[in-house]
A = this chain, B = another copy of it.
Amino acid sequence: MWATSCGAATEADHRAREILTRVGDKWSVIVLYQLGEDTMRFTELLRTVPGISQRVLAVTLRGLERDGLVSRTVHPVVPPHVDYRLTPLGETLKETVTSLVRWTHEHLDDIDRARESYDETNGGPPRRPAVPDSDLRSR
């Protein structure tokens, strides 16, 4: 229903690609995965997803919330307490996300080996374009 022999850029295709961009985004998948395990607070996510910055986590959560995948609950206490959890819609994605993450863990080694052998036959790992040094413009 998608891979029609004719490659017309339908509206649905365009939208689908847009959504995939969100779902496929670097951090969204991980955050969704974590929330699939349990309801979590902001700082908890910040710790559990090491490497993510405060700002990016905030942006990511906002995006997921806007898409209706994650809900945000503020408990009016002090200090503030905010819970994030999957919405029913988010739950429908849970299995797919889980299998994606699981696949990744199961095949880390395969990919490592594939890359090694690829880099061997071709010359080394993908090289940087080699900065022309004369690129440092006025600052």
Residue positions of A touching B, CB distance < 8 A: 1-3, 7-9, 12-17, 19-21, 23-26, 28-30, 33-34, 37-38, 47-51, 65-69, 89, 92-93, 95-96, 99-101, 103-105, 107-108, 110-115, 118-119, 126
Contacts and interface: CB of A to CB of B under 8 A. Distances in A.
Q: Shortest 10 CB-CB distances between A and B: which pairs? A: A68-B114, A24-B24, A9-B50, A7-B47, A66-B118, A3-B37, A7-B48, A19-B104, A96-B99, A16-B104
B48 A3 contact: yes
A48 B16 CA distance: 14
Contact of A30 (B20, B48, B107): B20
Contact of A51 (B14, B29, B49): B14
Secondary structure at chain A's binding surface: helix, strand, loop or mixed?
helix
A99 to B, nearest CB: 5
A87 to B, nearest CB: 8
A126 B69 CA distance: 17
